[in-house]
Amino acid sequence: MTFQKIQSETDIELLAATANEIWHEYFPCILSNEQIDYMVEKLQSKQPMTEQIADGYLYYLVQLNDNIIGYIGLHPEKEKLFLSKLYLKQEARNHGYASQMLQFIEQIARELGLSSIYLTVNKNNEHSIAVYKKKGFLTVKDQVADIGNGFVMDDYIMEKIIA
């Protein structure tokens, strides 16, 4: 498994296409198609990702044998690393790849001298919540965030201390 840091405009276009594919495959059991379309356009398309990278986000395409199987989005903060995105294509799930991705993320947090990793996860995303708990993340609070257009993100905030 390799992690390709997103740096060029071509990389961002490939990342956005990957995000669009994964979100439309994974989230229909959790979110409406209208909310998925809105969130992809607002948060995971070329323009917002370009802006996020300019603001210090780190994105990586995850590859296996030269095939893209997923992606990671991170945002280093003062003391913590925000795990913004960790997604795998359907055919890459349940093979231990998420565990390897989390190890890579922990390594980045340690290299940056950060004490913990935190994330938000939809309260109805039971599979991901179970994976994060298994990997040492604890639910620290819940939040409902208005993201516009009549949609909200109803999430748990989970955190893992690594220092």
DSSP-based three-state secondary structure for 65: coil
For residue 56, tell me if it sits in a domain.
yes
For residue 128, tell me if it sits in a domain.
no
For residue 23, tell me if it sits in a domain.
yes
Distance CA 12, CA 26 (A): 21
For residue 69, tell me if it sits in a domain.
yes
Span 8-43, pLDDT tens digits: 999 999 999 999 999 899 988 889 999 999 999 999
For residue 133, tell me if it sits in a domain.
no
Span 71-117, pLDDT tens digits: 999 999 999 999 999 999 999 999 999 999 999 999 999 999 999 99
pLDDT for position 27: 86
Q: Which domain holds residue 53?
A: 2-118
CATH number at residue 72: 3.40.630.30
Query: Which of 130-159 are b and which e, b meaning 16 or more Cβ less than 10 Å from the residue's Cβ?
Result: ebbeeeebeeeeeeeeeeeeebebebbebb
Domain count, the chain: 1
**Average confidence score pLDDT of the chain:** 95
0.95 surpassed by pTM: no
pLDDT for position 163: 67
For residue 131, tell me if it sits in a domain.
no
Res. 160: pLDDT tops 70: yes
